[in-house]
Each structure stands twice: as structure tokens, then as C-alpha cells.
Amino acid sequence: MTMPAAIPEPSVPTSPTSPACGPRRSRGTLHLPESDIYYEVVGSGPAIVFAHGLGGNHLSWWQQVPHFCDRYTCVTFSHRGFPPSVNVAGTAGPQEFAEDLKALIDHLELPEVYLVAQSMGGWTCLTYALQEPHRVRALVLSSTTGTVDFRAIRHPEIERLPQWDEDSEAARADLSARGILASTGARMAQEQPARAFLYQEIYDLAPASYKDTVRKRVRGSRNLAADVVRTIRTPVLFLVGEEDLIFPPGAAVATASLIPGAQLVRFPDAGHSVYFERPEAYNQALDAFLSSHSGLPVKMAPQA
């Protein structure tokens, strides 16, 4: 497995992140026996921990942190092996990622957290939430169901998966031939080329060989049975793009049907990376959900 080289720990800046959020509280690297985890903490209030997907790192949440940091403590980090974080041990998977997350939450002395996960981050956050349910106030799964074995769920949406598999495979092949990432999709590339370019730049920071290894390991760990999913009592919100070619939106529908009180928001004209592609709509849906559990006001979307 190819490991990224270690990156020197940055100094703590003194300038404010934004007028609304005030000075960044901290940034640094948590040195663990198996990994070095880079993190940033911005804002104050109840803590939201954002866990990025395979195509990202701590920078991926650049459109979410400014929206929430005036009311919440926003924690972003890079999973082990995703720069600037380093995979010291060479192992990576849901359990290892969840252990790193636990160590970070402990290090920051956060008694309770809201977890917001994108794609691969869903494996991290769901695993942690099942192990530490008393510390997770709510769980948000974006374009993911984490370790859930959704193909074993009896639901009409699952019965449609063979057709989705066929259609999405053909669409991904077409995008690949055109040099477009499936995680951004043709719509973002055409309508928002600058945003798609930034996504590609962040995506390329982690070695392709490492991403391939992690992809195989996380996909191979979709083994959480429906009976276990039914026992989840943590408030859960699923956020999915209707045009997702990597994660079947119907899998979120089926999984949400097993969790008492689970909520689901589907975004038309959005692919796998709703948080990146449609940040205003994503932030509003996330804000409303968090507000219902934190009691903090929802920030109104900026006027066009």
C-alpha cells in the first residue's frame, strides 16, 4: 500500500477564519500509534464533526464550515492516509477509521457530537455511533449507508437495484472516457466547472493506489444486518442526490425504513457529492435537522 509522506505540523494562525466565526480555536495533528490525524476546529457551540469521503479530506467541507461555525463548533479532519494525515500502520477500514475518530473526539474533550458523514465517512461515523451511542446526538449520512448490507433488505427500492447497477455502470464508463469523475458527475462539470475543478484538485491529493485499497476494504465491509439497523435509536438523517452514480439513492430509502424516526431528503439535479455541488440546499436541510435536536436557530439561505 502506498503511504503519503508525513507533512510538518502547521503553526496555529492568529487571523480569524471569518468575521462570523471568530478566530480558529485550534488546528494540529493528533499523533497516534497507527496514524497521524490532521484536524481543524472552528467556531463555538455544540460540536459537529464532519467526516469526508474517499475523494476528499478536511478541505472538502469548505462550504459547510462557514455556514455553521457561528453557532456550532465545527471539527474537520482527514482520515488516516488522506493528506495531511498519515497512515502509520498501513491498515485502513471502518474499524480503524472509527478508532481514529474516537481518539480525536477524546483528544478534543467533546462529551457529545453531531456526526456528518459523506460517502466513505459513513463507514467511520456509523461504526463509531454504534460503539458510542451515548456520545452521538445525531448522525447524518450523505450518499451513504456505511456498513449496512442494504442489498439484503426487503424493500421495493432494493428490488430495483439490478437496473440501477446496469445504468450506473454504463454512465460511469461514459464519464471515465470523458475524463469526468463519477463523484462529481457530468452536471457539475458542465454547470459548475470551477467547483468541479476544485473537487478534482482535492481528490488528487491522496494517492490513487491508496484510494483503491480503501475503496475495496470499505465496500467489502457492508455486512451490518437489518436486525442491527433496527436497533439504532440515534436520530438519523439521510441525504442523497437523485443522480448519484456511485451510491444507489434507493439504498438510503430502504435503510431509513428500518430506523425509527429516520429522516430522508432527496436532491434532484445532484449527484454523489450533494454537499459540494448543491451546498445551499444541502446546508439548509442539514441545518433544519440539527436545529430540531440542538434547539439552535436555522440560518436563512443567502438571497440570490
What value does the mean pLDDT take over residues 254-272? 98
pLDDT higher for 209 or 2? Answer: 209
Query: How does residue 25 score in pLDDT terms, banded at 50, 70 and 90?
Result: confident
Ordered by where they begin, the domains of the chain are 16-294 (3.40.50.1820)
Residue 11 confidence (pLDDT) above 80: no
Instruction: Examine the pLDDT at 2 and tell me if it is beyond 70.
Output: no
- Residue 244: is its pLDDT beyond 80? yes
Residue 157 has pLDDT above 60, yes or no: yes
pTM: 0.92
Q: What is the pLDDT of residue 20?
A: 67
Over range 43-66, report the average pLDDT.
97
Whether residue 12 is predicted with pLDDT greater than 60 in this model: the reply is no
- Is residue 49 within 8 Å of 65, Cβ to Cβ? no
* % of residues, the chain, pLDDT over 70: 91
pLDDT at residue 53 tops 80: yes
pLDDT more than 90, % of the chain = 90
Rg of the chain over CA atoms, in angstroms?
18
Cα three-residue angle 233-235-236, rounded to 5 degrees: 110
Instruction: Give me the mean pLDDT over the 204-225 stretch.
Output: 96
Pairing of the two strands 35-43 and 26-31? antiparallel
Q: Looking at residue 302, what is its pLDDT?
A: 66
pLDDT of residue 303: 62
271 pLDDT more than 80: yes
For the chain, what is the mean pLDDT? Answer: 93
User: Which residue has better confidence, 174 or 13?
Assistant: 174
- The Cα–Cα gap between 77 and 83 comes to 10
Cell numbers placing 102: 474516537
In the predicted model, what is the mean pLDDT of residues 227-242? 98
E strand segments, the chain: 16-18, 22-23, 26-31, 35-43, 47-51, 73-77, 86-87, 113-118, 136-142, 236-241, 263-267
- pLDDT of 3 reads 39
> Over 60: is that where the pLDDT of 63 sits?
yes
Angle between helices 121-131 and 94-107 (to 10 degrees): 70
* pLDDT at residue 300, rounded to an integer: 80
What is the pLDDT, as a whole number, of residue 17?
43
Distance CA 115, CA 118 (A): 10
For 89-122, the pLDDT digits (tens) are 999 999 999 999 999 999 999 999 999 999 999 9
Residue partners of 230: CB distance under 8 A and separation at least 6: 258, 259
pLDDT of residue 21: 77
pLDDT at 10: 37
pLDDT of residue 283: 98
